[in-house]
Structure 1
Amino acid sequence: MKIATYNVNGINGRLPVLLRWLDLAKPDIVCLQELKAPQDRFPGKAIRDAGYDAVWHGQSRWNGVALLSRVGAIHETRRGLPGDPDDMQSRYIEAAVNGMLVACLYLPNGNPRPSAKFDFKLRWFQRLETHLASLIELAAPVVIAGDFNVMPTDQDVYAPERWREDALFAPEVKHAYHRLLDQGWTDAIRDLHPHDTIYTFWKYWRGAFERNAGLRIDHLLLNPQAAAQLTRAEVDTRPRGWEKTSDHAPVWINLAEAPGERGSDKPGI
């Protein structure tokens, strides 16, 4: 089972890139963020024509998350995080798909710091921590995927000294991320690549992608049941080099059909 997360940075403007990547990589389940499209402007027909079922939580101009599946029906279980009835931002969607629970999130950026936006980011992270505590011990595999807008360690950012004051690298934000790991969630990329330099985002300017001056802010967190089935975790950098592309690259994992088969499956990308 190949599960991917991809911040598309505008689904309608980048639709040719997304469709090209879906055809090339053939992920089974996909979490999309930053749709930047209202609910009625999601390109559902194009996604269905590509072979995927979809549910989405749109928002005009900003935010927006979606789940795609080509391996069975998507049974939506939650739209939006609990804990703040006044939060109308489209940043979280969760569904049961093919025997597992998959959540797609787009965590607030939080800049500038300090500001009301940064305070909102911390409150959103706290709500996420509370909700994920209720999912960690489910008997089924659970995958939490998306743009977390956090670099967990110095290893996850090019030139970390330049980012010390940024909301994506603030101590409070890194601590919040590590509190999720302390619940028992596994960071899939770091689990299989503990010492590698791996980025998922590169700014458009100053040749950041060509210089590999990037950030690792897109993550897939797995509960123990899903972690036991993890065989691969990679970043597909190919779309980042295409024209009119997102500033993020897709991140994907492969889960074996049954627990205890780690390392037994070696699919290509």
Structure 2
Amino acid sequence: MSCVRVATWNVNSVKQRVARLLPWLDQRQPDVVCLQETKLTDSAFTELLGGELAGRGYAMALHGEVQWNGVAILSRVGLDDVVTGVVGAPGFPLPEARAVAATCGGIRVHSLYVPNGRTPGSDHYAYKLDWLAALRDVLAAGPEVAIACGDLNIAPTDADVFDPDAYIGQTHVTPPERAALAELTALGMRDVVRDRWPDRRVFTYWDYRAGMFHKDLGMRIDLVLASGPVAERVRAAWVDRQARKGTGPSDHAPVIVDLDEAPDGDIGPVVPPPSAPAAKRGSTKLPQSS
């Protein structure tokens, strides 16, 4: 069984995004979907969407909680060996619903919502780094054919934020966070969007405030990391910016990766491409810093 289109999307409350999610599934036809920030218990998720998803051929692997966090995998190419959580990962202080894994179409798929970190040097920041270290150990244990994707809450390099100056003193960009991410890629997990578009401006998240989306003042923190055997199958890798437009969007856009064949062609890193020019360095502050 072949897995053709894989997508990851931080929906920022699946309950608030039903009117966006279902039409998007019908339009993009992903075979495997990793969701983050579902913000629903497993029973509430099933009651809300179980029938609609089953009617579209999706099986579900869920790991949720009331109000916060929550991850899911939807698959129509098989869903086996489901594992919730990350073995050895700390809680804050109790374990949180931040990871679920399953084998889909012969690929071990991990849907991940990495802790935010809040403030460099804080207890939550230390929690983030310890959580990432546990994730590294899980990925290192295999299997060899794997995808780890989701909201990793880390911009891999300065090229992945609209202006490095705006993020000085913030999480997502600090050397320890980037080093933790580099430990994942050192395992052979390749950042397939950046692999395919090494020199292009690509963002996946834009703050709701201050018109950041319309100005294209974003960051790339939603990643698809693929092991070598999977990365070699990539034929397209792109951000579905269309899903961030319109009424009631998430503040994240989906990332879509096509394996073996590209139904929409190799259509570019961001679809549709933003019209706003790149901001002049030092000209814009983050909304919370204004």
User: Structure 2 length as normaliser, TM-score?
Assistant: 0.85
Q: Distance in 2 between the 1:77 and 1:57 partners?
A: 10
Aligned partner of 2:58 in structure 1 is 52
Q: Distance in 2 between the 1:7 and 1:187 partners?
A: 17
Look up the equivalent residue of 2:79 and give its one-letter code.
Answer: I
Aligned partner of 1:89 in structure 2 is 96
Unaligned runs of 5+ in 2: 266-290
Look up the equivalent residue of 2:218 and give its one-letter code.
Answer: G
The Cα offsets for residues 131-187 of structure 1, whole Å up to 9 and x where unpaired, read as 11112x62xx31111100000101000111111211211110011111111121110
Q: Distance in 2 between the 1:189 and 1:152 partners?
A: 12
- Would the aligned equivalents of 2:90 and 2:127 in 1 still touch at CA under 8 Å? no
Aligned partner of 1:145 in structure 2 is 149
Aligned partner of 2:73 in structure 1 is 67
Aligned partner of 1:262 in structure 2 is none
**Structure 1 runs, 4 residues or longer, greater than 2 Å off:** 84-87
- Would the aligned equivalents of 1:55 and 1:76 in 2 still touch at CA under 8 Å? no
Q: Distance in 1 between the 2:243 and 2:56 partners?
A: 17
1:245 aligns with 2:252: no
Look up the equivalent residue of 1:76 and give its one-letter code.
Answer: D
- Would the aligned equivalents of 1:151 and 1:217 in 2 still touch at CA under 8 Å? yes
Query: Within 5 Å, which residues of 2 pair with 1:17-36?
Result: 17-36=20-39
The Cα offsets for residues 60-99 of structure 1, whole Å up to 9 and x where unpaired, read as 110000000122x311332110114754200111111111
Aligned partner of 2:121 in structure 1 is 114
Aligned partner of 1:8 in structure 2 is 11
Q: Distance in 1 between the 2:218 and 2:123 partners?
A: 27
Aligned counterpart in structure 1 of residue 195 of structure 2, from 191, 197, 201: 191
Q: Distance in 2 between the 1:234 and 1:187 partners?
A: 12
Unaligned runs of 5+ in 1: 257-264
Q: Report the aligned-residue RMSD.
A: 1.4
Look up the equivalent residue of 2:131 and give its one-letter code.
Answer: W
Q: Distance in 2 between the 1:132 and 1:243 partners?
A: 37
Task: Check 1:85–1:164 CA distance in 2 against 1; reply closer, same or farther (3 A cut).
Answer: closer
Q: Distance in 2 between the 1:130 and 1:101 partners?
A: 15
Deviation at 1:47, TM superposition (A): 2.0
Q: Distance in 2 between the 1:209 and 1:20 partners?
A: 22
- Would the aligned equivalents of 2:41 and 2:64 in 1 still touch at CA under 8 Å? yes
Indicate the SS of the match to 1:14: helix
Aligned partner of 1:254 in structure 2 is 258
- Would the aligned equivalents of 2:90 and 2:131 in 1 still touch at CA under 8 Å? no
Deviation at 1:13, TM superposition (A): 1.2
1:127 aligns with 2:123: no
Q: Distance in 2 between the 1:52 and 1:252 partners?
A: 17
Indicate the SS of the match to 1:213: coil
Deviation at 1:52, TM superposition (A): 1.6
Deviation at 1:49, TM superposition (A): 2.7
Look up the equivalent residue of 2:69 and give its one-letter code.
Answer: N
Query: Within 5 Å, which residues of 2 pair with 1:172-251?
Result: 172-251=176-255
Q: Distance in 2 between the 1:233 and 1:112 partners?
A: 31
Indicate the SS of the match to 1:104: strand
The Cα offsets for residues 34-72 of structure 1, whole Å up to 9 and x where unpaired, read as 00111211022222233321111011110000000122x
- Count how many residue pairs are aligned between Structure 1 and Structure 2: 257
Aligned counterpart in structure 2 of residue 160 of structure 1, from 164, 172, 183: 164
Look up the equivalent residue of 1:217 and give its one-letter code.
Answer: I
Look up the equivalent residue of 2:56 and give its one-letter code.
Answer: A
1:78 aligns with 2:83: yes
- Would the aligned equivalents of 2:112 and 2:150 in 1 still touch at CA under 8 Å? yes
Aligned counterpart in structure 1 of residue 43 of structure 2, from 40, 43, 48: 40
Aligned partner of 2:287 in structure 1 is none
User: Structure 1 length as normaliser, TM-score?
Assistant: 0.92
